[in-house]
Structure 1
Amino acid sequence: MSDHVAYALLVYTGLQIFMVVKALNEGGSGLLPYAALVILVAGIIPACRWFEKRWSDLSDGEAIDPAHASAFRRDAAALWLLAIGLPVALTIVIKAFFAIF
């Protein structure tokens, strides 16, 4: 899970930089896009730590137990959905907000 968390954080941060900050820059200038980036990246870290903690407490024997395979796949899918879906959803909300106002 550690690898998934590390790569998901990289993807999440990259999407935040290229999608969300660009959308915020289109609506206005100043420090808001950069402050939003810092807040959003800091906000995802507790969720990633939760995924990491859940699996790091297992021993090596428990980690390879086939009984944990479906839970691992579910957690990995949820992590990636969060890492990719949150920046996309936030960009849509920001663009809709600027279109209305």
Structure 2
Amino acid sequence: MGKAFSVGRNRGQSRGQLDWRKRMSDTVAYALLVYTGLQIFVTMQAIEGDSASALPMLALVVLVGAIIPMFRRFERRWEHIGDAAAADPGRRAAFRKDQVSIWLLAIGLPFLLTGLFKLIAALF
């Protein structure tokens, strides 16, 4: 019985510890959700009223699939650090830099790409 309580206590203690790897993984996961949602919303707004072609849907799948390796690169950079480095508060600035980059891409890229595609469509 004492062992069960100590396991629960240890698990609770590890929950509050700093781990940049987990935080980056969470950031990437949430950013992918936001990117995908925005990409769908912005693309659907842009093609509303246009032809019922499957091409915009295919482009949407390609755009969502293309961002995953880019975000994965950010996550991989943090995945390979050791346990001591993962709990080092001195890595906060590097983490914030990557975190801001991820969120700028996740929020800005759908609008940028849709604007670019609309511009190209207007030119041709």
Q: Normalised by the size of structure 1, how large is the TM-score?
A: 0.88
Equivalent of 2:110, from 78, 87, 90?
87
Q: Does residue 1:54 correspond to 2:77, yes or no? A: yes
Letter in 2 for 1:15: L
CA deviation string 1:61-84 (max 9, x = no partner): 201213311110000000111111
8 Å Cα contact 1:24-1:32 kept in structure 2: no
- In structure 2, the residue corresponding to 1:28 is in which secondary structure? coil
| Matches of 1:25 and 1:56, distance apart in 2 | 41
Letter in 2 for 1:53: R
Equivalent of 2:61, from 38, 45, 55?
38
Equivalent of 1:29, from 48, 52, 66?
52
The total of aligned residue pairs comes to 101
Letter in 1 for 2:42: M
Q: Normalised by the size of structure 2, how large is the TM-score?
A: 0.73
| Matches of 1:22 and 1:39, distance apart in 2 | 18
Identical positions, percent:
53
8 Å Cα contact 1:25-1:33 kept in structure 2: no
Q: State the match for 2:27 in structure 1.
A: 4
- In structure 2, the residue corresponding to 1:29 is in which secondary structure? coil
Letter in 1 for 2:68: I
Instruction: Identify if the C-alpha distance between structure 1 residues 41 and 5 changes in structure 2 by more than 3 Å, giving closer, same or farther.
Output: same
| Matches of 1:25 and 1:44, distance apart in 2 | 24
- In structure 2, the residue corresponding to 1:34 is in which secondary structure? helix
8 Å Cα contact 1:13-1:41 kept in structure 2: yes
Aligned CA-pair RMSD: 1.6
